[in-house]
Amino acid sequence: MTGTWWLGILSRQFPKVFAPLAGVFRFMANTILVGAQWGDEGKGKIIDVLTESADLVVRSQGGSNAGHTVWVGDKKYVLHLIPSGILRRGKQCIIGNGVVIDPPGLVHELDGLKRHKVNVKGRLHISDKAHLVMPYHVVLDELAEEARGSQAIGTTGKGIGPAYTDKAARTGIRAADLADVEALLQQQVLCPSLDVTGQQEADLAQRNPQHQ
């Protein structure tokens, strides 16, 4: 008996086991697209095709460090946070609680869609549990890279890693927190990942005016 004897058994048993489930798999409610090559696999193009037959398009995790580029006719759309399904009429799009949202970046995307006359009203929904990328996350990200020197990770410097650190530590700011501004202003925001002095932040702001 060879070492592949078990293949014969599986080939005989698979039809018996899975045949009753064929109808279930044929009508799956969800289609999940996962990139397995550390990004830049062309997920945006695949999603654009899949959304034609979807009712809901959900961004489940990640931040604005990468983008999905989609061409519709001669118009180019680059989306970093908003699901590309927003470009199809009638599709409901959700930014899920696993996404860390850069508020200025989100507003910039919305403005771009508005210029292209893409109506998002009533079609774009944001989880109230999604965490926000704050300006100090960007500062932490860049200072951490500088501190690593030759061992730098090579992050995009958009504060995504530190935002997830605060999410895991339960010290971050969520979209729901914006509903109570007074309570938010009284909240002590902790940054356990790095101790940033005022001078360090001032130095970084001088080099990068957009952080001011």
Catalytic residue among 48, 68, 102, 166: 68
Answer positive or negative: Cα dihedral of 157, 96, 171, 166. negative
Enter the tokens of residue 152: 């730098």
Q: How far apart are CA 194 and CA 129, in angstroms?
A: 24
137 is catalytic: no
68 is catalytic: yes
In the chain, what is the straight-line distance between the N-terminal and C-terminal CA atoms, in Å?
72
Q: What is the dihedral of CA 121, 124, 125, 126, to 10 degrees?
A: -120
Local structure of 40: helix, strand or coil: coil
Q: In this structure, which amino acid lies at residue 14?
A: F
Which CA distances in Å does 56 have to 7, 30, 82, 200, 201? 40, 9, 13, 44, 41
Q: Which of the residues are catalytic?
A: 40, 68
